[in-house]
Amino acid sequence: MSHGGFCNRRFTELGNLVVHAKIHRNEKLFACQFCDHRFVTNGNRLDHERRHFNARPFACKHCPQKYYRHFQLAKHLKSVHNKNE
């Protein structure tokens, strides 16, 4: 486990530590093209931009639910439909 010295959080993967350290340094390199918000990760920027238009590209094959991010769909599939897709 690694930690970056900013706080007491520990990470098993270096990439997660790197992203977390950017939060402490306020490194928000990814800007929304529709407003003034900025983000540490491109994934968070994309998620935010989808919300401007209520775009939910991750749709459940088993019911009408749709989500902004893939992990939300995966969580739904496992908890509601008991599927690991």
Element (H, E) at 50: helix 42-52
Answer yes or no: do 45 and 71 share one domain.
no
Residue 7 domain-assigned? no
pLDDT tens digits, one per residue of 31-80:
999 999 999 999 999 999 999 999 999 999 999 999 999 999 999 999 99
Answer yes or no: do 22 and 44 share one domain.
yes
Answer yes or no: do 78 and 61 share one domain.
yes
Answer yes or no: do 65 and 79 share one domain.
yes
Q: Residue 23 — very low, low, confident or very high, per pLDDT cuts 50/70/90?
A: confident
Residue 29 domain-assigned? yes
Radius of gyration of the CA atoms of the chain, in A? 16
Answer yes or no: do 22 and 47 share one domain.
yes
**Residue span of the structural domain in which 74 resides:** 56-85
Count Cβ atoms within 10 A of the Cβ of residue 54 and give its class: 0-12 exposed, 13-18 middle, 19 or more buried: exposed
Contact 10, 2 (CB under 8 A): yes
Answer yes or no: do 75 and 61 share one domain.
yes
Rounded to the nearest 5 degrees, what angle is found at the Cα of 26, between the Cα atoms of 68 and 69? 10
This prediction's pTM: 0.68
